[in-house]
A and B are shown apart, each in its own frame.
Chain A
């Protein structure tokens, strides 16, 4: 049986955000936007979805009077990401066979 691919992660931008966050301690919204080439509006919506799913923590604070948003992956997010990668591998193996 195929494992269902997690619909929250199986989306281009959300998967990109999670892949960036999996290998760093934390990243600012600006950094994620630069690396994914996404628009601020679209990225905000997707970040909110990941936050609602409990996959990332989002901290908003002020740095020199400018609002700054920092994102960090949660243990639940790491688990979901690993499960997603495992499911992908399963698909690939079946594809080969």
Chain B
């Protein structure tokens, strides 16, 4: 596209518009890192806490969750580094940013409510799983990525089922929920991103 004064025909104009719009179709950032980071982190915490509580009867079994702020710091550093590399921002990227900020805040609020009220732990995981469901379902729809949509839908069901179990077994359901909504779709999303890139 060296010259800007070339006379365009109607057809050429429409073709040009179409080809440029097509180029922006796949400009979605690689979000799989976050799903894999949080997926494996939460999954491990659920299983370790279950082991500490049920098998070792360790009183401070919930200490494992101090890894969550560490995840927050790693996410923040990764996000800041990525921002330097990205040269274009789509509306989908922006919507996803706001969605996950709102969900992140919701997690903090829920944890605070649980700590302050002291009696909400029976249903804690039910609500966390509903948040995983909302986040992954909407993300899947916006990215047009079925595994995330299916993972999100499965978490709505797991959330209902979880109400029938005691806290320690809800930990296992939490691990299952995160496996279906974050870990498996996260790995598949990574594969899709790498394929699109090459």
C-alpha spacing A63/B16, complex, angstroms: 31
Is B44 part of the contact surface with A, judged by Cβ < 8 Å? no
Within 8 A of B (CB), among A37-86: 37-39, 42, 45-46, 63-64, 85
Which one of B1, B11, B14, B93 has the greatest number of beta carbons of chain A within 10 Å? B1
What residues on A are CB-neighbors of B13 within 8 Å? 10, 15, 88
What residues on A are CB-neighbors of B87 within 8 Å? 27-28, 30-31, 34
User: When the two chains form their complex, are residues A16 and B1 in contact, meaning their CB atoms are under 8 A apart?
Assistant: yes
C-alpha spacing A51/B42, complex, angstroms: 48
User: When the two chains form their complex, are residues B14 and A88 in contact, meaning their CB atoms are under 8 A apart?
Assistant: yes
Choose among A30, A42, A64, A88 the residue that contacts B2 (Cβ–Cβ < 8 A). A42
Q: How many residues of B contact A (CB 8 A)?
A: 27
CB nearest to A27 among chain B residues: B88
Is B77 part of the contact surface with A, judged by Cβ < 8 Å? no
User: When the two chains form their complex, are residues A10 and B8 in contact, meaning their CB atoms are under 8 A apart?
Assistant: yes
Choose among B3, B16, B23 the residue that contacts A15 (Cβ–Cβ < 8 A). B16
C-alpha spacing A48/B77, complex, angstroms: 35
CB nearest to A66 among chain B residues: B84
C-alpha spacing A73/B66, complex, angstroms: 44
What residues on A are CB-neighbors of B6 within 8 Å? 11-12
User: When the two chains form their complex, are residues A42 and B10 in contact, meaning their CB atoms are under 8 A apart?
Assistant: no
CB nearest to B12 among chain A residues: A12
Min distance, Cβ B28 to any Cβ of chain A, angstroms: 10
Is B27 part of the contact surface with A, judged by Cβ < 8 Å? yes
CB nearest to A12 among chain B residues: B6
Which one of B4, B89, B91 has the greatest number of beta carbons of chain A within 10 Å? B4
Known contacts A10-B8, A12-B6; A26/B84 CB under 8 A: no
Which one of B21, B88, B91 has the greatest number of beta carbons of chain A within 10 Å? B88
Is A97 part of the contact surface with B, judged by Cβ < 8 Å? no
User: When the two chains form their complex, are residues B1 and A13 in contact, meaning their CB atoms are under 8 A apart?
Assistant: yes
C-alpha spacing A19/B88, complex, angstroms: 14
C-alpha spacing A65/B88, complex, angstroms: 19
Known contacts A24-B88, A28-B88, A92-B10; A38/B1 CB under 8 A: yes
Given contacts A12-B4, A23-B21, A26-B89, 18 further A-B contacts (CB under 8 A): A10-B8, A10-B13, A11-B5, A16-B16, A19-B16, A24-B27, A24-B89, A24-B90, A25-B90, A25-B94, A26-B88, A38-B2, A39-B2, A42-B1, A42-B4, A85-B14, A88-B14, A95-B10
